[in-house]
Chain A
């Protein structure tokens, strides 16, 4: 049932039993949203704000991964996020909003130095990143290294979940060489067209991207035309990679819109699903949360396991959250091995299990 997940599953989330656990996670992040909307901040700034409030921790390092950490920037926004009084909250929110925007522009340049998807690195490289940093992280990486050998970083541009998902999925199909598996992936992909239509998207929004980017690349993978280097090139090429990301975003949004009664309760009070999709799903560079991950894995029927590494809890184990599309998959009718991603606050990378 854990499909090779193995260790430390006391906290793992399986799609069947754990609706409530998921809710808790969602609600936790919802509370943050409510707080910031009270002070007049906009929803879409939250991911950034969350990053900024803990720059002394890890998020800055995580976001700009291989680039040396910009300590000057880290200290600046940190000053403004605490000690707001209600009297001038609105005014301060405006300042914060402006600063956030400038801050985002400045890190954008740094971030662009990382390729969209990188070569794999030994997991020890990840350890080295924290040699000067948190002991908790080092312990967790040691634990992670027992069963994972490599990491593949993705650019921290807000699209990393979708890009990591896309690459890992294509790569898994490429490596499997299983005809049946590849055909069923092509079918899942084709099934997204009626999904998008049903969700009310105009054909002009998705048809060309589907035919000329996503399906075309998937077919090349299915026909065995690509090796790892070629796949990497594809995902490093802006115009292909970004349209694949966009298509995955559209699928995510369509799934959420079509299951709105189920997921709307997890949004902030002031957000309807359409508005949420407009501001946090359909548009490039907006980060993915729990709810996006659930939607995309269900829509494409691709199982994903995510290792959550945060410095906040002291346990040395790493919690894996399982996103399995439905029971059929857990029973093994679709034999795709789950994709494995690493989550550090604000950022996703790809992990590789030891054989």
Chain B
């Protein structure tokens, strides 16, 4: 049993190493990510820069990704470790986005057209999706009801709340 879970993890580990190498060589703009420490490749820290032209602009947002031992058969989870006010991010920081869920595993009723988790996705694709999500929230699958409501009804108020919280994260 121990042997078998270790083998499983070795395939996952190898894949994570390859992805890490790839990400260090060709990191997309505004994103960095890598293992928290050399001892645990199954936990990564990511830094995401708020996209330009959005209220998140200027912010640098840290998040933690946790990978299962059968990665990439199953997706990782992603959780912001700073305060994030966004319709698709739970108040505790957990990211709620379709690419982190395989089809069938559907507690959030994502639209059928949205991109899902499959083993051909990658950390890079997840992070890029999260950047687009910051720019364009999806109010079909709300995770933060309060943020959803304000985003829908009072865009200016929403932008103000986000900008204030960005300033706080930066310690200003």
Q: Tell me the A residues contacting B by CB distance below 8 Å.
A: 37, 42-45, 48, 94, 97-98, 101, 104, 158, 201-202, 204-205, 208-209, 212-213, 237-240, 242-243, 246, 250, 253, 270, 275, 278-280, 282-286
**Quick one: given A44-B103, A279-B103, A284-B102, are A209 and B11 in contact (CB under 8 Å)?**
yes
Residues of B within 8 A of A48 (CB): 104
Cα distance A283–B117 in the bound complex, in angstroms: 7
Given A158-B104, A283-B103, A283-B117, 16 additional A-B pairs, CB 8 A: A204-B15, A208-B14, A212-B14, A237-B7, A238-B4, A239-B8, A253-B120, A270-B113, A275-B113, A278-B115, A282-B118, A282-B119, A283-B118, A284-B73, A285-B104, A286-B103
Chain B CB count within 10 A is highest, among A240, A270, A279, for A279
Residues of B within 8 A of A104 (CB): 104
B37 at the interface (CB under 8 A from A): no
**Cβ A204 vs Cβ B11 within 8 A:** no
B106 at the interface (CB under 8 A from A): yes
Residues of chain B in range 126-157 having any CB-CB distance to chain A below 8 Å: none
Q: How many residues of chain B get a CB closer than 8 Å to chain A's CBs?
A: 29
**Cβ A283 vs Cβ B119 within 8 A:** yes
B83 at the interface (CB under 8 A from A): no
B122 at the interface (CB under 8 A from A): yes
B116 at the interface (CB under 8 A from A): yes
Report which of B11, B18, B116 forms a contact with A279, defined as CB distance below 8 A: B116
Could you name 23 residue pairs across A and B whose Cβ atoms are closer than 8 Å?
A42-B112, A44-B103, A45-B104, A94-B109, A104-B104, A201-B120, A202-B120, A204-B22, A205-B119, A213-B11, A238-B4, A238-B70, A239-B7, A239-B11, A242-B70, A243-B11, A270-B113, A282-B118, A282-B119, A283-B103, A283-B118, A284-B73, A286-B103
Q: Distance in Å from the Cβ of A235 to the closest Cβ of chain B?
A: 13
Q: Distance in Å from the Cβ of B23 to the closest Cβ of chain A?
A: 11
Q: Distance in Å from the Cβ of B151 to the closest Cβ of chain A?
A: 22
Q: Mark B1-25, 1 if CB is under 8 A from A, else 0.
A: 0001001100100110011001000
Q: Tell me the B residues contacting A by CB distance below 8 Å.
A: 4, 7-8, 11, 14-15, 18-19, 22, 70, 72-74, 102-107, 109, 112-113, 115-120, 122
* Closest 7 pairs (CB-CB, A-B): A239-B8, A282-B118, A42-B112, A44-B103, A283-B118, A204-B18, A279-B103
**Cβ B103 vs Cβ A284 within 8 A:** no
